[in-house]
Amino acid sequence: MKLFNYLLVLMFFLIQTLNADEILNLGKEISDKEWDEFVYLRSNPIGKHLELWHHVAGCRQWFKVSRDTVTHKIFETIKLNEKL
């Protein structure tokens, strides 16, 4: 049962969406405070929003998703190097 709970927590962490406008520079050193704010103090916008998703169960690729946070309707998906 502990392993199952661990896997659920791990999956939840991996499938969290990240605000594409708030992504940190991956090569940049940041403080613990900056990391905590990035992970836990994200904005929660209403309406159309651009997010980063990770396809954990399939191709394991990251991609951008434009979706409505109220209805969960997905408008568009694009590669990381593409712009809307």
Q: Could you tell me the CATH number of the domain that includes residue 24?
A: 3.30.2270.10
Report the pLDDT value the prediction gives residue 13, as an integer from 0 to 100. Answer: 47
Q: List the one residue out of 78, 55, 56, 57 whose CA is nearest residue 66.
A: 78
pLDDT in tens, the chain (84 residues): 555 555 544 444 444 545 544 554 556 787 889 888 877 887 778 999 888 888 888 888 888 999 998 999 999 999 988 887
Report the pLDDT value the prediction gives residue 10, as an integer from 0 to 100. Answer: 47
Give the range of the structural domain holding residue 72, as residue numbers without chain letter: 2-79
CB 61 within 8 A of CB 55: yes
E-assigned strand segments in the chain = 18-19, 48-54, 62-68, 74-79
pTM: 0.54
Token duo for residue 68: 């409505």
* Count of the separate structural domains present in the chain: 1
Domain-embedded: residue 67? yes
Strands laid side by side in the 48-54 sheet? 18-19, 48-54, 62-68, 74-79
Domain-embedded: residue 34? yes
Domain-embedded: residue 84? no
